[in-house]
Structure 1
Amino acid sequence: MSETTTQRPKRPRDQPRTEPTHPPGPRRPAPDHDPAAGFEQLYRATIDAVTAYFARRTTDPQTVADLTADTFVEAITSYSTFDPRRGTARAWLFGIARRVFAKHCETDARQRERAVRLAGRRDLAADHVEELLDRIDAERAGRALVTELTRLPELDRQAVELVDLAGLKAKEAARVLGISAGALRMRLMRARTRLRRAHDPRPESGVTS
């Protein structure tokens, strides 16, 4: 009788079967569960590049500050709509910067609206003005290139600026401009060739008509 009772006890063989049901729990927190942290990371990584983007377009530090601020305000209000499957956050942000500048140009073209905008804006602190003037000065060569680029077709010009000046990858720049990566590379190659020719030292000094 004692033998039958000693052979019955269940060994820890079936215990492992109950353990695998627990592991899925810790994987649940997603890295994008905190939009504020995600946006702060994007801001820190791109603030200099976005400021430089506008510093190549205007020498007025107040305008550079306004356009940079407008870009990030629009970005933070629409950050929840950003879909990483459709492109990088950097490309998405430069798409916003491009729209902000286009909107600024439309406004700036009308003197009345421009006067209203200048009258209502908040003055910058002296140290911020100094910092932006340094940034504008640093982008002098870039600004000269942007001026030279005006002779190129619009998309060719923007392809060069986004890739060669703003530092976007070809795929990111293509996403900003709404064209394929192959089309962007073709435009980039053509634009660079034309710019190289324009930069060749020529003997003419104001002799052109």
Structure 2
Amino acid sequence: MTAPRHPPPPSPTRAARAFEEIYEAEFDVVTSYFARRTADPQTAADLTADTFVAAITSFATFDRSRGTARGWVLGIARRVFAQHCEAVTRGRDVVARIHGRRVLDTDEIADLVTRIDAEREGRELIAAMAALSPADREVIELVDLVGMTPKDAAKVLGMSSGALRIRLFRARGKVRDLAPNGGQR
């Protein structure tokens, strides 16, 4: 049995352009992902930056045949957020993180405050979804808030498209019963 053939890695210049395209296309999606999870502009900016640092570090492993760039970047964002939550919960590296922050200028803070405010309904929906299982919450967020297709969301979550669609249908029904305005944005 022969090993599967992979295309040769792109040249550094092509790879840089390809990553830049992904960065420009997905920056707002990733920032909004974190704005739904925190009301602190500095934390949203830090997590977004951490996501793209991790993405550029692992860009050579990105394979478009396995999914979309959005799914790949959001998968990284999920891991970055999980690591952030773990660090906060344990109180690890608190001093290093405070001292390592880049001070945001007024325009950056204003932009992030606007984005955080724009995601207020998303945060309210996430708060209402607290009664759901973590898997149900992620399915709803990726499909209904981020706008991914069920197929791409299934790849991000590592499940079959059919299983995701069933989970999504059931989770939406639960949200209608739990959320203010029936979960409508």
TM-score by structure 2 length?
A: 0.88
CA distance in 2, matches of 1:59, 1:86: 33
What is the aligned partner in structure 2 of residue 39 from structure 1?
19
Aligned length: 172
Q: Quick one: which of 53, 63, 83 aligns to 2:43? A: 63
Task: Tell me, yes or no, if structure 1 residue 85 matches structure 2 residue 65.
Answer: yes
Query: In 2 relative to 1, CA 185–123 (structure 1 residues): closer, same or farther, beyond 3 Å?
Result: same
Letter in 2 for 1:156: D
Q: Quick one: which of 132, 154, 158 aligns to 1:178? A: 158
SS of equivalent residue, structure 1 residue 63: helix
Unaligned runs of 5+ in 2: 1-7
8 Å contact 2:128–2:179 — kept in the other structure?
no
Q: Which has the larger radius of gyration?
A: 1
Task: Tell me, yes or no, if structure 1 residue 139 matches structure 2 residue 119.
Answer: yes
SS of equivalent residue, structure 1 residue 109: helix
Within a 5 Å distance, the mapping from 1:43-192 to structure 2 comes to 43-111=23-91, 113-192=93-172
Stretches (4+) displaced over 4 A:
none
Letter in 2 for 1:79: F
* Displacement of 1:89: 1.2
CA distance in 1, matches of 2:179, 2:129: 12
8 Å contact 2:129–2:178 — kept in the other structure?
no
CA distance in 2, matches of 1:58, 1:44: 22
Identity of aligned residues (%): 56
Q: Quick one: which of 183, 196, 201 aligns to 2:176? A: 196
Deviations 1:5-63 (A, max 9, x none): xxxxxxxxxxxxxxxxxxxxxxxxx9x55111111111111111110000000000000
Query: In 2 relative to 1, CA 87–112 (structure 1 residues): closer, same or farther, beyond 3 Å?
Result: closer
Letter in 1 for 2:87: T
TM-score by structure 1 length?
A: 0.78
CA RMSD of aligned residues (A): 1.7
Say which structure, 1 or 2, has more relative contact order (CA 8 Å, 6+ apart). Answer: 2
Deviations 1:129-174 (A, max 9, x none): 1100000000000001111112111111100001100111111111
SS of equivalent residue, structure 2 residue 131: coil
* Displacement of 1:189: 0.4
Unaligned runs of 5+ in 1: 1-29, 202-209
Query: In 2 relative to 1, CA 122–159 (structure 1 residues): closer, same or farther, beyond 3 Å?
Result: same
Letter in 1 for 2:112: L
What is the aligned partner in structure 2 of residue 15 from structure 1?
none
